[in-house]
Structure 1
Amino acid sequence: MALIIFLYSVLTSVGSSFSEQISNVLGEQNIDIAVQAKHATNPGTSIIDEHIFEGISNLNGVKAVHSLLIGNQRLQGDKLVFILGVSSFNTFAQRFGFNLSKGRVISAGKRELIIGEKAAKVYGLDVGDEIGFGDGEQYSIVGIYSSWLSFLNSGLISDLESVQSLISRPGKASLLFIKLENSTDTLMMTEKINRQFPDMNAIQSQQLPDYLGPIKSVFYFTDIVSVMTLFIAGAVLLNTFIMAISERTKELGILSAIGWPRQMIVMVFLVESLILALTGGVLGYLASFGVFPILQSHFSSVVMFLPDAPTLPVFFNVLLMSVVIGLLSSLFPTLYGTNIQVSKAIRHE
């Protein structure tokens, strides 16, 4: 039970944490509309031309438009990292809750980077280090940033033009984040952008997690595996209690013979089942705390998706599911065992 809940806690925490972070970025940081290329499978494959940015910026009712370019690079020819190019670092930092914990901000056009705290720890980098990418270009790390968004703490950030050059996408962006003068016009403006720019897909900010493409499919897969682990947990406990009732049939007969009502006998086994299930669930949840630092150290390519610890809602789910699994897995064998005739149960060996 503990091992199965451990697996459930890890998988569910990864999926829910990343989805929650995306929603919080857009919902709490005053971003009304997100725009990506219409036929892009995810933001990383989206390509938006510069003239689209200018056209949307000139629409009536648009207060500000900020560009974000997303790319992947081989760090020093080995480790794969994601890199963000931002049109305005100060604006980006303000809206996404960034803080410089060390060093300074980047200067445009100088091949400078700031690195997330998690990435700096995983890759062993610090301010002043020079890092190279696959094409041999060298960039200087001038700062280390922290953010309340775990996945953003795992990347690199530079100015938009530098990243455009680094990943060979001059004049391009992956996403546009739009702030409106009046947030109540979000639906109308979304329809207007989609109508005037048919190659773009403008969506209300809270809908962006539904457009994550393959990333979202990965989290669907983790949900499926999580549900499968719960079925396995139920099957394991059911088998355990079938064997337990079979071995204690004589005991059940004796309890019935001395006057114990059936309800009391059933209650004893239900309480035992709940204690086992809850103990296993809590142990499994606590054990999952130790696995995330290990995953971050050995699977750096997916470090952006990993939370620092299991999320709190997962703990409440574990408690609820442990209770349900414990009750369901013990109810049938207990009712069956207490339904045997007393004389037959006492003679059972």
Structure 2
Amino acid sequence: MKRRHFLQLSGTALAASTIGRYAVAAPATAGDAADSAAFLAARRFAELSFGHIAYVERGAGPAALFLHGAPLNGFQWRSAIAQLASERRCIVPDFMGLGYSEVPAQQPLTAGAQCAMLVAMLDQLKVEKADVIASDSGGAVAQLLAARHPERVRSLLLSNCDTEPNSPPKGVLPVIEMARAGTLADDTAKWLSDPALARATFGAAVFHDPSRFTKKTIAYYVEPLVSSPLRRAQYHAFHVALDPNPLAGIESVLRRSRIPVRMVWGASDTIFPLADAEYLDRIFPRSQGIRRIPEGKLFFQEEFPGIIAEEAHRLWQLA
């Protein structure tokens, strides 16, 4: 698979306008440097049997668990938790094989293993139940958590993510092939020396405004993935573990779920189309419907954190 396919396919100021008390958008500015420094300073590690799991925790009150996509890490949710920390204890882990979590070479990186890691983390942090907010591959893990441990999930806010009929999505298959071939890390590492390339390819594929994929943001996401031979191998292993479908057979369980669920979906995403949100709306008995973001792409959560905050606040009133 040619590396250009990966680049093409997967390729803190608040905005002036607001919805209620929440900012709609957080445009990319020089403030990203301050954001990354603050997030770095706030990082902690949960010492689990799985390894040293990196996470950031802010706020107080009932717990909210934020699950990121790939190749991102918890930094994806920085602006959303800034708006929600006044009403929730926001816990933002980095998945094994991504971000700053450190796990041994033999640790499985499947969605099922990620789910088990989260349960162990919640136990260590003495969290009995959490409101879960998730996107992309994190959404697959969130659904597994809801199916296998429903007692741990108070509510579920899903944005552009895997569903049983679309996991892994066709648009991600070339990336998985590159991971199998061992070339994915090398291609991702190029973003560090060529941010313009990162914005023109990956950034354009996943953001409405690729300029928000700043040099500091790229570094925060990419540096841990390519920092050592082990981390490169685990970055590959994470993607290889996306196939076969980690959600196979889950629909029958989710159809019996009593968890309130809301979908917030970027309607311009070509990887997880609106049909995926509509599918989730049909199968969850307590679905609260779909909010469509016309200009939103896969990682719109970074551009429009106020929408995530607003929808989370509304869903939490029902849980």
What band does the TM-score fall into relative to the shorter chain?
under 0.3
Of structures 1 and 2, the one with the larger relative CO (CA 8 A, separation 6+) is: 1
Using the size of structure 1 for normalisation, the TM-score is 0.22
Looking at CA atoms only, which structure, 1 or 2, has the larger radius of gyration?
1
Q: TM-score, normalised by structure 2?
A: 0.23
Query: More helix per residue: 1 or 2?
Result: 1
